[in-house]
Copies of this chain bind each other. A is one copy, B any other.
Amino acid sequence: MPMQEMQIAHHDCGDCPIRHRAVCARCEADELTALEQMKYYRSYQAGQTVIWSGDRMDFVASVVTGIATLTQTMEDGRRQMVGLLLPSDFLGRPGRTTAAYDVTATTDLVMCCFRKKPFEDLMLATPHIGQRLLEMTLDELDAAREWMLLLGRKTAREKIASLIAIIARRDATLRLKAPKGALVFDLPLTREEMADYLGLTLETVSRQISALKRDGVIVLDGKRHVTIPDFDRLLEEAGDDSDGGMPG
Contacts and interface: CB of A to CB of B under 8 A. Distances in A.
Interface stretch (A4-12, A125-133, A226-234): A125-133
Interface residues of A, number: 41
Interface stretch (A143-151, A184-192, A213-221): A143-151
Contacts of A152: 80, 151, 198-199
A244 interface: no
A148 B144 contact: yes
A81 B244 CA distance: 18
A187 B133 CA distance: 35
Interface stretch (A27-35, A40-48, A134-142): A134-142
A133 B199 CA distance: 31
Nearest to A151: B151
Contacts of A149: 72, 74, 80, 82
A151 to B, nearest CB: 4
A177 to B, nearest CB: 26
A57 to B, nearest CB: 14
Contact of A141 (B76, B79, B131, B141): B141
19 contacts: A72-B148, A74-B153, A80-B148, A82-B145, A82-B149, A93-B138, A94-B134, A95-B138, A100-B145, A127-B130, A130-B131, A133-B134, A137-B137, A137-B138, A137-B141, A141-B144, A144-B144, A151-B151, A153-B199
Interface of A: 70, 72, 74-76, 78-80, 82-83, 93-95, 100-101, 123-124, 127, 130-131, 133-135, 137-138, 140-142, 144-149, 151-153, 198-199, 239, 241
